[in-house]
Amino acid sequence: MRLWKEPRGGVTVISLDGRLDSETAPQVQQDLQALFPEDGLVVLDLSRTLYMSSAGLRVLLLIYRQARHGTVRLALTGLSPEVRAIMEATGFLGFFTVVDSVEQGVEALTV
């Protein structure tokens, strides 16, 4: 799993590329916490996340809690139909602002 961040119009975009499963989740969690600002606006781009297991959902929940603990507004984008279905079935979609593209995420967070 590869992660990177880039600023876009006052919003931090963090992109994930690869599989988010029990093997990669501990390192992804650590890397996300290092990239995650203490305050501001963040779009988490999952469009290149090929697979997400329950361990990946746990990482998202921890990031959500980290955002709420600070003053971060968070949006998710690029959810595959499979990931969206899993998040909907588990109630995770209700925690996040979910949009279709990074641009929509930036717009949703800056209005």
d(CA 9, CA 75): 15
Nearest one of 22, 16, 1, 2 to 102, comparing CA atoms: 16
Q: How many CB atoms lie within 10 A of CB 78?
A: 21
Q: What is the DSSP string of 17-68?
A: EEEESTTTHHHHHHHHHHH--SEEEEEEEEEEEEEE-HHHHHHHHHHHHHHH
Quick one: which of 48, 45, 39 has its CA closest to 60? 45
Q: For residue range 42-67, list pLDDT tens digits in order.
A: 999 999 998 999 999 999 999 999 88
Does the predicted TM-score (pTM) go above 0.85? yes
Our measurement of the distance from residue 41's CA atom to the centroid of its chain's CA atoms, rounded to an integer in Å, reads 12
98-110 per-position pLDDT tens digit: 999 999 999 999 8
Secondary structure (3-state) at 10: coil
